[in-house]
Amino acid sequence: MEEYSWVLEFMPQGHATDLRREPVVQLIGEQFFTLLEASVKQDAAIVVGSKLYVGKEARGEIERIRRRITYNELSTGAKEVLPMILRKVIETQEKRFVEFINKATPISIRVHTLDLMPGIGKKNMEAIVAEREKKPFESFHDLKARVSTLGDPIGIFVHRIISELEGKEKYYLFVRPPFQPNEGFRR
């Protein structure tokens, strides 16, 4: 369950297809990157890119969580701001993502978790593993300084998370896997 979410889109009149016209917001959770749609309290001041409390206690701006949504259900505007919001989330949780780099392990004999990250590749993966054995990374700056061939570390995480949200991945490292309608039901 998400405690905090970031605003991707605010629709003051809701969806055009809704019978009940109410302000609606599309959100991305901070912990599991869950995509949510929520009803907004009438007088709430909503700003795209802001962080809102969506937990079970009394909420300030959110009336109720309507449902979990998929990437394809996001509005065009929400899809456009998603990379920027993810960058913000990753920057505010730098320690969590650096820890991921420090603790990533092999999945099988041939595949390492770091191989699943776009833009890392075999050479960078080997360099990361060698450097973290000497001393764990302390920040993105430290990672970039010690593995100079690595691109933008934040961008690598952004691309991976978006790919997981789109449902393009076999392994889910950061996003809660999408619900499959027939999954878990046996007759």
Which stretches of the chain drop beneath a pLDDT of 50?
A: 182-187
- pLDDT on residue 91: 97
- pLDDT on residue 179: 61
Please give the single-letter amino acid code of residue 124.
N
CATH classification code of 4-74: 2.40.50.140
The SS3 call for residue 86 is helix
The whole-angstrom distance between residue 20's C-alpha and the CA centroid of its chain comes to 30
- Compute the distance between CA of residue 29 and CA of residue 173 in angstroms, rounded to an integer: 15
User: C-alpha distances in angstroms, 5 versus 44, 82, 85?
Assistant: 15, 12, 10
- pLDDT on residue 51: 95
- pLDDT on residue 183: 46
- pLDDT on residue 187: 42
Q: What is the pLDDT of residues 68-94, one digit of tens each?
A: 999 999 999 999 999 999 999 999 999
Say which CATH superfamily domain 93-165 falls into.
AF1531-like domain (1.10.150.280)
Domain boundaries, the chain: 4-74, 93-165
